[in-house]
Amino acid sequence: MAERPEDLNLPNAVITRIIKEALPDGVNISKEARSAISRAASVFVLYATSCANNFAMKGKRKTLNASDVLSAMEEMEFQRFIVPLKEALEAYRREQKGKKEASEQKKKDKDKKTDSEEQDKNRDEDNDEDEERLEEEEQNEEEEVDN
Amino acid sequence: MAAAAAAESGTPREEDGLGGEAATPQPQAPTNAPGARLSRLPLARVKALVKADPDVTLAGQEAIFILARAAELFVETIAKDAYCCAQQGKRKTLQRRDLDNAIEAVDEFAFLEGTLD
């Protein structure tokens, strides 16, 4: 699959949904218009990435961060996006923090359990099953030979 | 006391649930947490676009997320601007030419010129 940057499209279903929710009820969109918007969105991301990367390089950093993207928005004259993006970022950070704490808690609980005992039990059961399978296979082979 | 008596006697019929008015299956993805609808665009695809840039070394997760959200806002914005053109033509279907008109008319969309063909 040739992956030129322009060909990396975002999923049509999601794009369509965003468009429909932005427009009043009863308004439709032609297939050509929808795919053009999808393409435009990809170009937007590529352009924003390039702008953001300039800011990162200015700051002598190799990793793009959120503020680089926000600076890019301003550079691209999409200032109206900045406030909603900042709000989304805060919500995202809160969610990530919650997830991290939840997974750390799970890890702690797991370590407390005595895992070693459970592992020994499982091993014994597995050995029994293997032996039964071997016996069945041998019987089958004998039958075929007779025929 | 009165409240307790009322609770015992009144068993709402709606809870019998014969399934006559079952909730229509919604095409939207299930939202488990209240903040789950932060971004509809899959971050993996956005990340692929970002990586396509040869000058980019690394991009943090937050950067990818904001780009995804910005792309959503962009789609909303351009759809609305294109719709203004369609409205003038008294049409209810957005056509490709509405988009082209919006791109020409709005300065911020100048970067799109020549890229959609």
Taking only the tens place, the pLDDT of each residue in A108-137 is: 988 887 666 566 666 665 555 555 555 555
At residue B59, the 3 state secondary structure works out as: strand
Selected for mutation to probe chain A from B66, B78, B90 (highest A CB count within 10 Å) is: B66
pLDDT digits (tens, 9 = 90+) for B15-74: 444 444 444 554 445 444 444 456 789 999 999 999 999 999 999 999 999 999 999 999
Contact A44 B74 (CB under 8 A): yes
Residue B26 falls within a domain, yes or no? no
Chain B residues touching A93 at Cβ < 8 A: 62
Residue B69 falls within a domain, yes or no? yes
**Total domains present in chain B:** 1
Residue B25 falls within a domain, yes or no? no
Contact B70 A93 (CB under 8 A): no
Lowest mean pLDDT among A41-55, A56-70, A122-136: A122-136
Contacts with A, B 41-100, CB within 8 Å = 41-42, 45-46, 48-50, 52-53, 55-63, 65-67, 69-80, 82-83, 86, 92-96, 98-99
Residue B78 falls within a domain, yes or no? yes
Radius of gyration of chain A (CA): 28
The per-residue DSSP string of chain A comes to ----GGG-PPPHHHHHHHHHHHSPTT-EE-HHHHHHHHHHHHHHHHHHHHHHHHHHHHTT-SEE-HHHHHHHHHHTT-HHHHHHHHHHHHHHHHHHHHHHHHHHHHHHHHHHS-HHHHHHHHHHHHHHHHHHHHHHHHHHHHHHHH-
Chain B residues touching A43 at Cβ < 8 A: 111-112, 115-116
Contact B57 A14 (CB under 8 A): no
Tell me the residue ranges of DSSP E strands in chain B.
Answer: 58-59, 93-94
In one-letter notation, the amino acid at residue B40 is: R
C-alpha span between A79 and A30 (Å, rounded): 29
Q: How far is CA A137 from the centre of its chain?
A: 44
CATH number assigned to the domain comprising residue B75: 1.10.20.10
Q: Is ipTM beyond 0.85?
A: no
Residue B2 falls within a domain, yes or no? no
Residue B87 falls within a domain, yes or no? yes
Name the residue range of residue B49's domain. Answer: 43-112
